[in-house]
A and B are shown apart, each in its own frame.
Chain A
């Protein structure tokens, strides 16, 4: 399923849904890339509806984060379900990402 996209103030919020794995993670990758190409400087990935991720899906977020950095855009994650948060902790990716407990908190933290 294609992630939904909304805008709050000048923050682009991308909201993927369901189980994201090696088979369907390309849609999220393309969505992030498209928003960066359109010039987004503040990207928030709202993870509230993501119940499962594998390492391919993690890779999509890593490449999104790196591409955002290359475009001098800010890239944040929010609202992770416990199972998804656990994968970030296991892989120690949580130290690289700016992760927030809620979208509001994440939006307020953009500089």
Chain B
């Protein structure tokens, strides 16, 4: 990708496309952007916080696992409000694919300092879907429903 670590393209009021390098310091920028976008789409503070955290965890996982700390990997992110008003986040990386059989949230009854990212994504979002069928990399789709009242 170009030498700019973060590029933003506002396609419409309902769609934002962002390309960023695989650097942890950019996650904060993405949190701010999804906050602004989700508020613009009418999501309340609790939902906005949950979407911010889920996006944070997804990007941190890509940087750690798909790019293994390489700061020059490319990540394409799309924020999109669909016809139902649901918030769809699509994250495409071009790094190493993980083994889908190892992709499961960990046991919360043990006190460990790690492995909570996937658990949080699944807890906070209505849909968490990995697509490993791409020739290069992985696509992760996260959806927050506009009207869904999730069970605690």
Of all chain A residues, the one with the shortest Cβ separation from B111 is A96
Given A22-B27, A23-B24, A91-B120, is A54 in contact with B60 using a C-beta cutoff of 8 Å?
yes
Bound CA span A22–B111, Å: 19
19 CB-based A-B contacts, threshold 8 Å: A19-B28, A21-B56, A21-B60, A22-B63, A23-B27, A23-B28, A52-B31, A55-B117, A58-B116, A59-B114, A60-B113, A62-B112, A62-B113, A63-B113, A65-B111, A86-B49, A90-B124, A91-B120, A92-B108
B49/A23 in contact, CB under 8 A = no
Does B88 sit within 8 A of A, measured CB to CB? Answer: no
List of A residues within 8 angstroms of B60 by Cβ: 21-22, 54-56
Partner of A90, one of B31, B114, B117, B120: B120
Does B130 sit within 8 A of A, measured CB to CB? Answer: no
List of A residues within 8 angstroms of B53 by Cβ: 54, 87
Bound CA span A54–B59, Å: 11
Bound CA span A56–B24, Å: 11
Q: Which of A53-111 contact B (CB under 8 A)?
A: 54-56, 58-60, 62-63, 65-66, 83, 86-87, 90-93, 96
Does B119 sit within 8 A of A, measured CB to CB? Answer: yes
Q: Classify chain A's interface size.
A: 20 to 34
Of all chain A residues, the one with the shortest Cβ separation from B32 is A19
Does B123 sit within 8 A of A, measured CB to CB? Answer: yes
Q: Which of B90-139 contact A (CB under 8 A)?
A: 108-109, 111-114, 116-117, 119-120, 123-124
List of B residues within 8 angstroms of A86 by Cβ: 49
A22/B119 in contact, CB under 8 A = no
Q: Which of A1-59 contact B (CB under 8 A)?
A: 19, 21-23, 52, 54-56, 58-59
B108/A91 in contact, CB under 8 A = yes
Does B76 sit within 8 A of A, measured CB to CB? Answer: no
- Report the minimal beta-carbon distance from A99 to chain B, rounded to whole angstroms: 14
